[in-house]
Amino acid sequence: MACASFAKLNAASSQWIGQQSFTQRSGSSASTRFATRRVSLPIRASSYTDELVKTAKTVASPGRGILAIDESNATCGKRLSSIGLDNTEANRQAYRQLLLTTPGLGEHISGAILFEETLYQSTTDGKKFVDCLREENIMPGIKVDKGLVPLPGSNNESWCQGLDGLASRSAEYYKQGARFAKWRTVVSIPCGPSALAVKEAAWGLARYAAISQDNGLVPIVEPEILLDGDHPIERTLEVAEKVWSEVFFYLAENNVIFEGILLKPSMVTPGAEHKEKASPETIAKFTLTMLKRRVPPAVPGIMFLSGGQSEVEATLNLNAMNQAPNPWHVSFSYARALQNTVLKTWQGRPENVEAAQKALLVRAKANSLAQLGKYSGEGESEEAKKGMFVKGYTY
Amino acid sequence: MSCFKGKYAEELAKNAAYIGTPGKGILAADESTGTIGKRLSSINVENNETNRRDLRELLFCTPGALQYLSGVILFEETLYQKTAGGKPFVDVLKEGGVLPGIKVDKGTVELAGTNGETTTQGFDDLGKRCAKYYEAGARFAKWRAVLKIGPNEPSELAIHENAYGLARYASICQENGLVPIVEPEILVDGSHDINKCAAVTERVLAACYKALNDHHVMLEGTLLKPNMVTPGSDSPKVAPEVIAEYTVRALQRTVPAAVPAIVFLSGGQSEEEATLNLNAMNKLQGKKPWSLSFSFGRALQQSTLKAWGGKKENVEKAQASFLVRAKANSEATLGAYKGDAKLGEGAAESLHVKDYKY
């Protein structure tokens, strides 16, 4: 910390400066003769603190979770091409409009993460997307990272870029109506993970979180531990505990206010290629153990990523985690696990929009029930049960 | 290994959870021979083994008191002592449903190059000693690290050194069947306000849990013994509700839910103050996934000591005093203390001693 290193140069704490012999006790002579640099109180995001806390609480409201639709243009292109559509702005706009104008979405969805292009888009009738969301009491969020790039000196691992100019970008996004931000970094178990990769992931998240809060955006803290690998669930637990320990320590060092953040962890599961699948109860047990060991109660909400699980799996696992009260709101922030059936239903045709919106509500409602621990799993379609793991998946 | 799970894992978690039983707390009776000598001399009693034994017997054999306690921290000498009638103290405690604990640190020493900051000694043969104490009946341990607030304190060095010391001690305890109480005391001395205390407490606790995690300590089998968040001793006092709010918030920001109980030190507060503050914390609405209880030394014994004065004929009166405080703190852990404990002489007296050394 900068102030601590300043303090060490001060004669009050160093016996070597100015040939002073070391006999100081606390206070008097040293502080009157030298300008003592006081250890300052942590600077909190003062002007936005109350709003950050309120936003975080709104997103973490009972029975609701996040719809993640922040796919970059390239990634959105993959989705569109899977149903035979070209990756044009008009198609991206049409798809997001379908999602964001779903009537009654706000009953189950408390926040929507957008890509930058979408934050500035409107419906074909000219209504701003952020206004559509606000009317449903859905907080608009914005992806602010600039993607993963290779981490030099690591074991083929990645790090997340995006800190340059983040403060001014965040301020602009806030002006446009965003109230929370998201930054996704990854950790790979097959690659180690190396101590370097874990440290970088955690530190990058901490810096992003501090900058976000300073500019009025609640940071969603997302160190995704990739599903790739054949490791058992115990190994995932070990890595997750290490990662979150680093994350919280650096968040604290960066004076981030924990009442004004949200987490987006991966659930603790075996690797995708591990011989045995784990039941929702096992996943819940390991995941909750990890959370109880690492997440301070001040954090209002934990919104899980689905990371390649099928729609139904993601819902069942969330439901298993909510069978008893938790010190934080335990909910979802799903992309593929909310959109898969929707996309397939839409197929790019205007006549299918209503049916596609209904499909979104089906998934949103299921996850809403899971958040309350009341999901029963009856009547789910086969499509919804299909796994979506893609080895080596890149956004 | 995500956290160390030795052969004692289940027992550690069970004992740690037991100590946090609502309505119970810890009596810290682990004053070293030198420190207990100060207490005894304050009531004109000679510091010999018999007197030290008599005082502890007075406390442990107070009729009806043990129900309010889940643990008693002992000094090494006491762990091996017996009542005048020949019954080992550990048996007295165990029969009363109280876990015996043992102080295992060997005091503080100054860190060269700092402004009077300290680290705690006691690692040599710590594992062997813990195993021996476990055999003698101890089930939890205590190690006190000390930090202070000043213009440039606590320094990064002092925080790191004390946090990692606590973590190493905790790890060794768990290997040997003792639940480690993690105690990073931030002294109340100073003219700082409550905000400063809160900021420092949060920073110190964050460092402690980072160190514990790095050392693979099983958090479910530990206890935390922090200071309450208060203004400095030279600053104006604030209401218990304010102390409760700042303290609980600092803990919400730093202490994972896996830790079963937080047992506060009293650090120089008067008996009544300490009880009122604990009570306010337990009345506070908000997220508190751990029990909030007490581990009081001076704040449980002060009026008892005064009532005793070293005289046999005062034992009953002294025990009545002790019972009053034990019951009051028990109620405070439930948020049910009405502030009506019959105040013994000295109960409202501040126990703060500037730059206090154990």
Question: What pLDDT digit, counting tens, does each position of B272-319 carry?
Answer: 999 999 999 999 999 999 999 999 999 999 999 999 999 999 999 999
A–B CB contacts, 8 A cutoff, strictly below: 113
Q: In the annotation, is A264 catalytic?
A: yes
**What is d(CA A227, CA A388) in angstroms, rounded to the nearest whole number?**
11
pLDDT value at B103 more than 50: yes
Q: List the single range of A24-28, A351-355, B57-61 with lowest mean pLDDT.
A: A24-28
Residues with Cβ within 8 Å of A279's Cβ and at least 6 positions away in sequence, in order, are: none
Residue B343: band (very low, low, confident or very high) from pLDDT cuts 50, 70, 90: low
User: Rounded mean pLDDT of chain A?
Assistant: 89
Determine the pLDDT at residue A382. Answer: 76
The answer to whether the CB of A383 falls within 8 A of the CB of A340 is yes
Determine the pLDDT at residue B158. Answer: 97
Crossing angle of helices A311-321 and A336-346, rounded to 10°? 150
Q: Which residue has the tokens 């979405």?
A: A105
CB contact under 8 A, B113 and A297: no
Determine the pLDDT at residue A199. Answer: 97
Strand partners, A301: A262, A329
pTM across the whole model: 0.87
CB contact under 8 A, A245 and B3: no
A368–chain B nearest CA distance, Å: 23
Residue A392: band (very low, low, confident or very high) from pLDDT cuts 50, 70, 90: confident
Determine the pLDDT at residue B298. Answer: 93
Summarize the confidence of residues A321-330 as an average pLDDT: 95
Determine the pLDDT at residue A25. Answer: 39
**What is d(CA A198, CA A290) in angstroms, rounded to the nearest whole number?**
17
Determine the pLDDT at residue B287. Answer: 95
**In chain A, residues 270-289 whose CB comes closer than 8 Å to chain B:** 289
From the list B183, B185, B272, B273, the catalytic residue is B183
Higher pLDDT, residue B6 or A244: A244
What count of Cα atoms within 13 Å lies in the side-chain half-sphere of residue A162? Answer: 26
* Burial tier of B14 (Cβ tally within 10 Å: 0-12, 13-18, 19+): middle
Summarize the confidence of residues A353-359 as an average pLDDT: 97
pLDDT tens-digit profile of B250-270? Answer: 999 999 999 999 999 999 899
* Burial tier of B96 (Cβ tally within 10 Å: 0-12, 13-18, 19+): middle
DSSP string, B135-183: HHT--EEEEEEEE---SS-S-HHHHHHHHHHHHHHHHHHHHTT-EEEEE
B222–chain A nearest CA distance, Å: 12
Determine the pLDDT at residue B1. Answer: 59
Determine the pLDDT at residue B355. Answer: 62
Q: CB of B153 within 8 Å of any CB in chain A?
A: yes
The count of other CB atoms within 10 Å of the CB of residue A84 is 8
- B110 DSSP assignment: E
B217 → chain A, closest CA residue: A293
Q: CB of A12 within 8 Å of any CB in chain B?
A: yes
Q: CB of A168 within 8 Å of any CB in chain B?
A: no
ipTM above 0.95, yes or no: no
Summarize the confidence of residues B191-213 as an average pLDDT: 98
CB contact under 8 A, A39 and B151: yes
Sign of CA dihedral B42, B47, B51, B57: positive
User: Rounded mean pLDDT of chain B?
Assistant: 95
Query: What is the percentage of chain A residues whose pLDDT exceeds 90?
Result: 83
Residue A322: band (very low, low, confident or very high) from pLDDT cuts 50, 70, 90: very high
Summarize the confidence of residues A126-142 as an average pLDDT: 97
CB contact under 8 A, A4 and B199: no
B197 → chain A, closest CA residue: A41
Q: Which residue has the tokens 């009077």?
A: B116
Determine the pLDDT at residue A33. Answer: 44
Tokens for A221, please give them: 């803290």
- Chain A residues in contact with B195 (beta carbon < 8 A): 41
B194 → chain A, closest CA residue: A41
The answer to whether the CB of A379 falls within 8 A of the CB of A77 is no
Q: In the annotation, is A253 catalytic?
A: no
Q: CB of B1 within 8 Å of any CB in chain A?
A: yes
Residue A48: band (very low, low, confident or very high) from pLDDT cuts 50, 70, 90: very high
**What is d(CA A187, CA A222) in angstroms, rounded to the nearest whole number?**
10
pLDDT tens-digit profile of B232-250? Answer: 999 999 999 999 999 999 9
Query: What is the percentage of chain B residues whose pLDDT exceeds 70?
Result: 97
**What is d(CA A322, CA A373) in angstroms, rounded to the nearest whole number?**
5
Summarize the confidence of residues A218-244 as an average pLDDT: 97
B355–chain A nearest CA distance, Å: 10
Strand, coil or helix: B39:
helix
Determine the pLDDT at residue B357. Answer: 55
Determine the pLDDT at residue B344. Answer: 60
Summarize the confidence of residues A118-123 as an average pLDDT: 97
Q: CB of A335 within 8 Å of any CB in chain B?
A: no
With CA atoms as reference, report the closest residue to A96 among A60, A64, A132.
A132
- Chain A residues in contact with B207 (beta carbon < 8 A): 249
